[in-house]
Amino acid sequence: MSENCAIRVKNVSKVYKLYQRNVDRVVDALGLSGKKKVYREHYALHNMSFDIKRGECVGIIGTNGAGKSTILKIITGVLSPTEGDVEINGRISALLELGAGFNTEYTGLENIYLNGTMMGFSKEEIDAKMEDILSFADIGEFIHQPVKTYSSGMFVRLAFSVAINIDPEILIVDEALSVGDAFFQAKCYKKFDDFKKQGKTILFVSHDLSAISRYCDHAILLNKGTMLAEGTPKDMIDLYKKVLVDQADVKSIASGEADIHSTTGQQSITGASGAVDTWMSHFHVNPEVNEYGDGTAHIIDFAVEDEKGLLSTTIMKGSRFTIKSKVLFDKPVYDPIFTYTIKNTQGISITGTNTMYEKKDVGEVTPGDVYVASFNQEMNLQGGEYLLSISCTGFEYGDFRVFHRLYDVLNITVVSDKDTVGFYDMNSTTTVTKV
């Protein structure tokens, strides 16, 4: 393995034996089953391979049961692979599921020494880091109480503080940050930034797609125990959203026969050929728009209008503007949902809404019906470039379905003569008086 590689996972599989009856487990353990197989094999991971470079922050995403936690446990040595190898180049510190590596009967202070010793530190080395650990955890006198008396938030504060303050070269975090409060999460992500600047490697599992997009250089998408794809956070998040609604050509993508942009039931933007009687013909439509749907409906036209009702993707901050989508229904459906989302150029969703949130029910729709959804609002985003996504979705027999979705279909430019901090302006009324 090259010096530039921090983690190498090569052809790793993890197989569990599933028994229908407890007696079958005993029979198999004693070797009394002969040639008869009394269990079925479940592949939690199947032939997984990837490399993580030094200094990268890599996010792992996927649905529940995709194998995210399993692969982290194998990388950290908590589990052994059934097949394959893992190579590690550097000292690892890991924060896996809540409770891992802690003795709940011990006090917080005793657990710090326990964890530090398990990682190869002497008492003197742990003592030298103790002030930083206690300061970051910030749990006060509870450090002298048994861990079993801690709230989940206190627990994760201490566990994360230990993990990051032992000077690891590789930090692995599995969802644990979702337990802490907003202030603690902000402090943790600040630490991620510090680690990246120091050239350290971070492997990060989270269902928070905004965090993956914001902090990760690279992302890996797992699906049912296999590595479906890897690439930029934006590409992997877009593919993950397709997987969630069964609109990704998973089999072809996994086999390498199709790229990550392949979908099942591929849609096309009706009217995008340049017809002059459509709204969209007045805009520069993204030629690489990420588009898919199940065929229940088609978005046949869309538009952005400024405060004067003119078609324009240049909007003045503080003015009102309208987003429109025109949808043709090919199948009957009840209460379709029309949506829009505005993202920044890093792929982070900034704002958006839909007709369900706005309590605008449509009712029963029949094939051939055409509906126009209009969203009129004030532009309070900071000046800059943004991406517009629109869709028509709904529920069939209780299951969420995407009828047609266009990701990043238009670029919106916000023109501003006054920007504030963050993504949007709260339009503060400000006074300063001498007293």
* Range with the largest mean pLDDT of 132-141, 178-187, 270-279, 351-360: 351-360
| CB neighbour class for 130 (10 Å; exposed up to 12, middle 13-18, buried from 19) | middle
Encoded tokens for 335: 């209460």
Rounded to an integer, the average pLDDT of 300-325 is 94
Rounded to an integer, the average pLDDT of 53-78 is 92
pLDDT digits (tens, 9 = 90+) for 108-152: 999 999 988 887 788 998 999 999 999 988 899 999 999 999 988
- Calculate helix-pair angle for 123-137, 152-165, nearest 10 degrees: 130
Rounded to an integer, the average pLDDT of 357-382 is 96
Of the listed ranges 9-18, 227-236, 247-256, 362-371, the one predicted with least confidence:
247-256
CB 158 within 8 A of CB 103: no
Output b/e per residue, 265-283; b: 16+ Cβ within 10 A: eebebbbbeeeeebbbeeb
The residue with greater pLDDT, 179 or 6, is 6
Rounded to an integer, the average pLDDT of 266-280 is 61
What is the C-alpha R_g of the chain? 26
Rounded to an integer, the average pLDDT of 25-43 is 83
Whole-angstrom distance, CA of residue 107 vs CA of residue 46: 40
pLDDT at 106 over 70: yes
pLDDT at 347 over 90: no
**8 sits in which H/E element:** strand 5-18
pLDDT at 274 over 60: no
Ramachandran region, residue 384 (left: φ > 0; alpha: ψ -120 to 50; beta: rest): left
pLDDT digits (tens, 9 = 90+) for 197-226: 888 999 989 887 878 888 899 999 999 999
Strand partners, 93: 171
* Range with the largest mean pLDDT of 116-120, 173-177, 267-271, 378-382: 378-382
**215 sits in which H/E element:** helix 209-215
Domains and CATH numbers, the chain: 280-415 (2.70.50.60)
In degrees and rounded to multiples of 5, residue 227 shows phi and psi of -85, 110
* Percent of the chain with pLDDT strictly greater than 90: 56
In the predicted model, what is the mean pLDDT of the chain? 89
In degrees and rounded to multiples of 5, residue 426 shows phi and psi of -85, 5
Strands of the sheet with 83-88, listed across from one edge: 40-53, 5-18, 83-88
pLDDT of residue 97: 63
pLDDT at 337 over 60: yes
pLDDT at 37 over 90: no
Q: Where are the beta strands (DSSP E) in 258-367?
A: 290-292, 297-305, 314-316, 320-329, 333-334, 337-344, 349-354, 364-365
Whole-angstrom distance, CA of residue 199 vs CA of residue 56: 8
Considering only CA atoms, which of 89, 60, 74 is closest in space to residue 12?
A: 74
Of the listed ranges 53-62, 272-281, 322-331, 418-427, the one predicted with least confidence:
272-281
Of the listed ranges 127-136, 254-263, 333-342, the one predicted with least confidence:
254-263
Of the listed ranges 209-213, 264-268, 377-381, the one predicted with least confidence:
264-268
Task: Give 178's DSSP letter.
Answer: G
Of the listed ranges 243-247, 271-275, 302-306, 430-434, the one predicted with least confidence:
271-275
pLDDT at 270 over 60: no
| CB neighbour class for 384 (10 Å; exposed up to 12, middle 13-18, buried from 19) | middle
The residue with greater pLDDT, 16 or 264, is 16
pLDDT at 365 over 90: yes
